[in-house]
Amino acid sequence: MVRSKWRAAKLAPAVKLAPLETLFESSRDHALPLPGRLARLYGTFRMSTPRSGFRIFSNFVSTLDGVVSLQARGHSGGGDISGFSVQDRMVMGLLRAAADVIIVGSGTLEADPQHVWTPEVICPELADEYRRLERDLGKSSASLNVVVSGRGALNLRLPVFASGRVPALIVTTTAGAKQLLKQQIPDSVRIHAIRGRGEIPAAAILEAVARVGGGKRTLVEGGPRLLGSFYNERLIDEQFLSLAPQLSGREFGDARMSLVMGKLFAPRNPRWGKLIDVRRGSKLLFLRYGFGSSSASA
C-alpha cells in the first residue's frame, strides 16, 4: 500500500541512469527550471503554481494488472512493483523536489518507518540536481511531510519526526492527538486535530496544511485508501502512474491493493481523466493524467 521505496533505493545495484523518451507531451503549464542533467534525463517538466488553493498530484507505480502493493512481508513497497527501477526513483525524486507538501497515510509510514520524504532519500544519485531545482523554485526548506493518522498511533522517535530533516505535520482526530501528547513532541512537529471519529476528510487535511502555510504544490504518495479519499472529494488534479511490465496476479479475497481502495466510483460515478504525458523508460512506461475539470471534459 506504499509508494515509498527507500528500501528499494538501498537494495538496488548501481545502474547508469538513462534518459526517458518523450512519446507525447501536453504543452499546457509552465516548464520548471530543471538543472541540466535532470532535464536531459526527464525532458521538459511542466507544472504551474495556482494563484490560490492547491495543485494536488499523486504518484504510484502499478503492475499491468493494477496492483500497487503485494502486501507481503518484506515486499510491500513500490520497489517490488517497479523492479527497483532507478528511472522510477528519478521521477519520484523530481516530484518530491517540485512539491511544497508531501502527504502520506500512517500505513505508508508503518511499512517504511525509517523513511523521510525528500528527493535525495529516494534518489541519492541526483541529490545535487534536486537541491538546485528546489533552490530555483524558491523553496526555503524541505517539503512539509504530512502524516495522516486517525488513531494517532505513531512513534514520534521515527526519523520523519525526530531527525529535524523536514518540517512535519500530523493530522489526526482529537482522540489521536491525546495519544500523541503522551509522547515528547519534537520541535519540528506540529499536530492538528480534527473533530470526529473515523476517516479524516481530504479537505480537512488540506485545511490543516493551509493553516501552517505548507505551500501550494501538494504530492499525495499514499496509500490507496488515502488517495481514494482525495479522489472521492474530487481533489486530485493530476495522476502520475508508472506502469511496470509485470503481472502480479491475485488470489480470490487476497489483500493486494490497487491504486484506489475504500471508495467505489464506477459505474454510477466514475472518475475520468485525460492522458497528458507519456514517457518511455528502459522497462517502465511513465503516464500522466489530468483530472481537473478542464482535463476531464476535453
Residue 28 lies in a domain: no
Residue 174 lies in a domain: yes
pLDDT, average across residues 71-93 = 89
Range of the domain at 125: 6-12+34-247+273-297
Q: How far apart are CA 201 and CA 199, in angstroms?
A: 6
For residue 266, is pLDDT > 80?
Answer: yes
pLDDT, average across residues 250-259 = 89
Name the residue with cell 482529537: 174
The CATH number of the domain holding residue 196 is 3.40.430.10
More confident residue, 214 or 19: 19
For residue 15, is pLDDT > 90?
Answer: no
Q: Write down the pLDDT at residue 214.
A: 85
Q: Write down the pLDDT at residue 4.
A: 47
For residue 112, is pLDDT > 60?
Answer: yes
Q: Where are the alpha helices (DSSP H) in 57-212?
A: 78-82, 86-98, 106-111, 119-122, 127-136, 159-162, 174-180, 202-211
Q: Write down the pLDDT at residue 291.
A: 95
Residue-wise pLDDT tens digits, 138-187: 999 999 999 999 999 999 999 999 999 999 999 999 999 999 999 999 99
For 218, the 3-state DSSP assignment is: strand
Q: Write down the pLDDT at residue 5.
A: 44
Q: Write down the pLDDT at residue 253.
A: 84
Q: Write down the pLDDT at residue 198.
A: 82
To the nearest whole percent, how much of the chain has pLDDT over 90? Answer: 80
Q: How far apart are CA 31 and CA 21, in angstroms?
A: 17
Residue 78 lies in a domain: yes
Average pLDDT of the chain? 91
Name the residue with cell 519526526: 161
pLDDT band at 14 (very low <50, low <70, confident <90, very high): low
Residue 293 lies in a domain: yes
Q: How far apart are CA 285 and CA 214, in angstroms?
A: 31
Q: What is the DSSP letter of 143?
A: P
Domain count, the chain: 1
pTM: 0.92
Beta strands across the sheet bearing 101-105:
21-25, 274-280, 285-290, 238-243, 55-62, 217-222, 101-105, 144-148, 168-173, 189-194
Q: Write down the pLDDT at residue 207.
A: 96
Residue 57 lies in a domain: yes
For residue 37, is pLDDT > 60?
Answer: yes
Q: Write down the pLDDT at residue 259.
A: 95
Residue-wise pLDDT tens digits, 207-241: 999 999 989 999 999 899 999 999 999 999 999 99
Residue 26 lies in a domain: no
Q: Write down the pLDDT at residue 293.
A: 56
Residue-wise pLDDT tens digits, 46-64: 998 888 889 999 999 999 9
Residue 194 lies in a domain: yes
